[in-house]
Amino acid sequence: MKPLILILGLLIMAAPAYAQAENAAQTAGELQDVYDNWRASMVRKDAGLWKRYTSTTKQIKVRNRIWSERRPFPQTVFASPIAPPDIGKLQAMRVRAQGRTAKSTYFGKVDFGIGGEPTDNLFVISYVRERDGWKYHGGEFVNLGALPTVRQQLAAGNKEFLDGEDFFPNGVPEAAPFTIRGPVKYIAKAYVFCPGREVKLLINRKSRHIFQNTKRADVVVGGAIDGMNELQFSIKDLPGGDAKAPISIRVYLMSEVNGVKPLKLLEYQIDEEQAKREEKPKGSGTLNFNLSPEMVKKLKGR
């Protein structure tokens, strides 16, 4: 009887593990189908299909950005020359689901259809589960050009690099942002130069931005408004960064008239000379900038 009891015990222990593997395989298949359908919507320029397979939060963010640039929606969704990669030609490395979020990681020649010879890199896809199933929430290209050893390890089947936290879903879907109701009146961009630092901005209490050790301009979601506008900022040093480096925060209004350059509405900075004198930026603060009728005439050409 003892061997029989032992065998039955092993079967009982194995059943949950088998069920987990079966569920994981089912989830992986569902996620791949979602991405393939989302990709098809982009290739075919099918707005209905795009809406069906894109998460609600992603839809709002895309629409907000397009209208903040005064471009047409949904036509602009499909205007990019970059094509979504075909994951059927890549190697599936990891599929992880937690709560209502999931991530799938692929390795291989990630091809965005822009020519050249793609090299072996990573493509990480994020998903959110809504009432009617999983939805595409975003794709991230991870360039392994500076990590040749990691590239070799992945090619050989060593997936240790993929155990980093960036490759795990956090289980909590991103909160939906405020929704723009139509194209903004004035296009604005926030520019930040912050070597060795992290800068967070909140503009007009709506448009949130995070800049880390970079030089970049972001579209201000919701645009600028007539009269007084507000910018809240926070600045912190990053580990290993140079606390004496210069830093710049600016806001520009973009002209709709050919030949008219953007208008700089706001600037807060520590320039190179100030940095040499060891002047440091404030850790946080609030700045205001005014959009006057005279500026509007220059921007609109009337």
Mean pLDDT, consecutive 10-residue stretches, the chain (302 aa), reads 49 51 79 98 98 98 97 96 95 96 97 92 98 97 95 97 95 92 96 96 96 96 96 94 91 89 94 88 96 87 65
Question: How many distinct helices (H) and strands (E) make up the chain?
Answer: 6, 12
Cα 194 from chain centroid (whole Å): 19
Residues 13 and 161 in one domain: yes
Return the structure tokens found at 169. 């879903």
Give domain status of residue 275, yes or no: yes
Give domain status of residue 177, yes or no: no
Return the structure tokens found at 47. 């707005």
Residues 13 and 70 in one domain: yes
Residues 194 and 223 in one domain: yes
Return the structure tokens found at 66. 């397009």
CA distances from 133 to 53, 88, 93, 141, 151 (A): 9, 21, 23, 24, 33
Give domain status of residue 173, yes or no: no
Residues 241 and 209 in one domain: yes
Three-state DSSP state, 288? strand
Pick from 258, 211, 256: nearest CA to 235: 211
The structural domain count of the chain equals 2
Residues 147 and 255 in one domain: no
Q: CA-CA distance, 173 to 61, in Å (whole number)?
A: 14
Q: Give me the pLDDT at residue 276, please.
A: 86
Give domain status of residue 88, yes or no: yes
Q: Which residues are 197's β-sheet partners?
A: 237
Residues 17 and 147 in one domain: yes
Domain span at residue 222?
Answer: 188-300
Say if CB 25 and CB 18 are below 8 A apart: no
Residues 161 and 192 in one domain: no
Residues 229 and 296 in one domain: yes
Q: Give me the pLDDT at residue 137, please.
A: 98
β-pair type (197-203, 120-130): unpaired
Q: How far apart are the first and last CA of the chain?
A: 95
Residues 209 and 81 in one domain: no
Residues 45 and 101 in one domain: yes
pTM: 0.86
Residues 228 and 293 in one domain: yes
Q: Which residues are 211's β-sheet partners?
A: 199
Residues 154 and 23 in one domain: yes
Give domain status of residue 180, yes or no: no
The CATH number assigned to the domain holding 142 equals: 3.10.450
Residue ranges of E strands in 22-115: 91-98, 101-109
Give domain status of residue 264, yes or no: yes
Say if CB 56 and CB 130 are below 8 A apart: yes
Q: Give me the pLDDT at residue 233, please.
A: 98
